[in-house]
Amino acid sequence: MAKDIKIATLLKEKYINLSLKEKTKNKVIVELVNLIAQSGKIKDRRAVANMLLKRERLGSTGIGNGVAIPHAKSPKVVDFVLGFGRHQEGIDFGALDGEKTHLFFILASPENEVGAHLKILADISHLVKDKFIVERLKAARDKKEIIRLISSATT
């Protein structure tokens, strides 16, 4: 049975960056991994970054509507960690709709937690299908507002 993990519970202010700087897909992924590595839940950030990049080569996690959900399961992750990044200008992330990506939810999960990993991805996907929520996440003034938006939308 998959653990029932709420994205609002997983996401912490310290894993939110509202001004991502990098300009390419690969560098943004590394920037996001460095953000979530602060959690102490990642034993080897380079290995996790490589897993995420390998996952992207299978197909972009840019799902459209300005959103990407880079994710990976790895033996180098000891517990679930979720980060959120925002890029003001947006970058080419190879999104399905061809538009620039502004919002990034990065998920790193333990290798053996497939069910919970998929459930968290489904919850994020459901959240960002709402264009109103996406616009509010793009316009949020601070990290607390991001947490509030996600919490109220996922309860």
From 71, 87, 102, 117, active-site residue:
71
Encoded amino acid at 14, one letter = K
Encoded amino acid at 74, one letter = S
Encoded amino acid at 135, one letter = E
* pLDDT value for 92: 96
Given 3.40.50.300, 3.20.10.10, 3.20.20.70, 3.40.930.10, which CATH number is that of 11-153?
Answer: 3.40.930.10
Question: Using alpha carbons only, what angle is made at residue 78 by residues 103 and 145, rounded to the nearest 5 degrees?
Answer: 30
* pLDDT value for 93: 96
Domain boundaries, the chain: 11-153
* pLDDT value for 5: 83
Contact 80, 116 (CB under 8 A): yes
87 is catalytic: no
* pLDDT value for 3: 60
Q: Running along the chain, 155 residues long, what does each successive block of 10 average in pLDDT?
A: 75 96 97 95 95 94 96 95 97 94 97 93 95 96 96 84
SS3 content of the chain, % helix, strand, coil (to 5): 45, 20, 35
Q: Rounded CA gap, 82 and 88, in Å?
A: 20
Q: Rounded CA gap, 36 and 30, in Å?
A: 10
Phi, psi for residue 27 in degrees, rounded to 5: -70, -35
* pLDDT value for 138: 97
Buried b (16+ CB within 10 A) or exposed e, 16-27: bbbebeeeebee
Report the first-to-last Cα separation within the chain, whole angstroms.
Answer: 21
Rounded to the nearest 10°, the torsion over CA 69, 150, 86, 106 is: -30
Name which of 47, 134, 152, 46 is nearest 84 in CA terms. Answer: 134
Query: pTM of whole model > 0.85?
Result: yes
* pLDDT value for 38: 93
